[in-house]
Homo-oligomer: A and B are copies of this chain.
Amino acid sequence: MKSLRTVLACSALAFAVVPVGAFAEEAGDNAQIIDEGLNRSQIQQMAHELVDDIGPRLTNSTNMRKAEAWAVAKMKELGLENVRKEGFEFGRGWEVISSNVEMMGPRPLELTAIPVAWTPGTEGPVEGEVIVAPISSPGQFEAYRGKLEGKIVLISRPGTGNEPSQVTFRRLEDDDISSRDLIAIPQHNPDGPGGFARFVNSIKTFPKQLDEFLASEGAIAWAKISYRDAKLLHGTGYNHEVGNTQTLPGVEIAAEDYRRLARLAIGGEAPRLRVDTRVRFIDGDTKSYNIIGEIRGTDPRAGYVMAGAHIDSWHGADGAVDNASGVVTALEAARIIKTLGKRPKRTIRIALWGAEEQGLYGSLAYVRQHIVERAGEEGLSNAELLANWSTLYPVTPKPGFYDMKAYFNMDNGSGKFRGIHAEENIGAIPMLEKWMKPFNGLGAKHVVAGATGGTDHIMFQAVGLPGFQFIQDPLDYGSRLHHTNADTFDHLRPDDLRQASVVMAGMLLAAANDKDTLPREPLPQKPTNTNPFGQ
């Protein structure tokens, strides 16, 4: 905190000497934003409410409904206008009631495990021997036919302990950031050469085929290995659509426990497991929701600028750094602007996306509802739309296409902002640099040309709109928190989040008041070869 305070003092001094006219007003805005955001932040209180009090927010779960209600109430409390929920079809809700997985023999042992999302529970103890049957494609089914009756099937390859050679908690050096800059490639397509189609197949189509095979063979449950070592769990699963959930209970087992089962099974007597998982499906409302609120602009024809973050999470822990951090940063940015009584020229919109974790469905829905129409999208599910993304042309703008002037996304943990990706929109770089300049002293100073993938801004970039993602200090997001059972409030870094909220507020206000708007890329009308997921 001390270094931030020092920066603040220096900035305030500089502003007091230099400003004249419009620049003076802007400089005054930024000094106020920094003061409000660093000294009277509500970040921690909001995070405590969302993360500790509500907890995990798997799409359409009971907790997610609580979080939606919390977000609506919070936006209203902050004085945002036009607060609303915008629904889109998603599927079933699901949540864990209890989970116990034990090895009964050859020696008794309680295992560390978590139910896989949207698989049924055993709803009472079931017992069976394990069989090691790593299956990664339908072509492998034949090898196991007739061998799975009554078994608990270990569907992953066990492997051995990993050797992570990176630092667990890490901040970026300035050199790290500039070296990430990539050659610009105009015109986006977040699918690239079939990327989304492969993604949908791997997370949804093949798991469903495997489930049907295992069930038809009389297996009683299946287990996969955690993809992180040292007892971390995730529980990610994607078959959430009505009529598409799996029939067999599935659990993810901690890597150490899974590998022990596999070694014992291969080395001698197959371990016998008792699995007792209880889950709840919720089918009353199959829609997921984006939560939207605004600070209305003074010029109704000037369009809007937007900041957003997904509010849903996985169920292993409390969804703190993924992505309550983004939610509270965006809300705090809005609070700062409202508290200071700023009236921007353009409307500032805050969007909290639903169902990001299952396929960026919230931002996809927003794009469909407000931005563009794609040929042939009518009647397609979210997954089908994603899988066929590269084939759905032409793309036709809706009126809202012209209203949206900028989108800023946050979804990479709780590390402070170090800059922003121009997402290959080279023409945007000078304006992004200008808007970020007042916050260079807080550590946010790099505008890099390259693109990032994997979260909601790509849905905007993909249709030519200026959507960007911030560069954040990585901290321990990738090493141990992303989607894990350790993603809790105590891993949020409040100093970092305060800085992020200040930068976000400043950039939103600058984008909302700038006499110019950001350049757009051409609306894509045919497939291209770029693939942000692959980078």
Contacts and interface: CB of A to CB of B under 8 A. Distances in A.
Interface of A: 48, 52-55, 63, 97-100, 102, 106-110, 112, 158-170, 229-233, 255-257, 259-260, 263-264, 267-268, 317-318, 475-476, 479-480, 484-486, 488-492
A438 to B, nearest CB: 28
A267 B52 contact: yes
A486 B263 contact: no
Contact of A168 (B52, B164, B256): B164
Given A229-B486, A231-B486, A486-B231, A52 B260 contact: yes
A260 to B, nearest CB: 6
Contacts of A263: 48, 52, 489-490
Contacts of A231: 230-233, 484-486
A132 to B, nearest CB: 14
A52 B54 CA distance: 40
A374 to B, nearest CB: 40
A53 B232 contact: no
Contacts of A267: 48, 52-53
Contacts of A161: 476, 488, 490-492
B256 A486 contact: yes
Nearest to A479: B168
27 contacts: A52-B260, A53-B106, A53-B107, A53-B267, A54-B107, A55-B109, A99-B110, A112-B485, A160-B490, A161-B488, A163-B475, A163-B476, A164-B169, A165-B169, A166-B167, A166-B168, A168-B168, A168-B479, A229-B480, A230-B230, A230-B480, A231-B231, A256-B317, A256-B488, A256-B490, A259-B489, A260-B318
Given A267-B52, A476-B163, A486 B230 contact: yes
A55 B230 contact: no
Contacts of A259: 488-490
Nearest to A475: B163
A229 B475 CA distance: 14
Contacts of A230: 230-232, 480, 484, 486
A268 B45 CA distance: 12
A208 to B, nearest CB: 28
Nearest to A159: B490
Nearest to A229: B486
A331 to B, nearest CB: 19
A480 B488 CA distance: 19
A465 B61 CA distance: 65
Contacts of A256: 317, 485-486, 488, 490-491
A260 B164 contact: no
A174 B56 CA distance: 47
Contacts of A166: 167-168
Nearest to A164: B168
Contact of A165 (B52, B170, B268): B170
Nearest to A262: B490
Contacts of A476: 161, 163-164
A490 B55 contact: no
A167 B165 contact: yes
Nearest to A55: B107
Contacts of A100: 100
Q: Which 4 A-B pairs have the closest CB atoms?
A: A161-B491, A163-B169, A256-B488, A161-B490
Contacts of A109: 55
Contacts of A233: 231
A102 B489 CA distance: 19
A255 B168 contact: no
Contacts of A159: 490
A167 to B, nearest CB: 6
A63 B109 CA distance: 12
A107 B257 CA distance: 28
A454 to B, nearest CB: 22
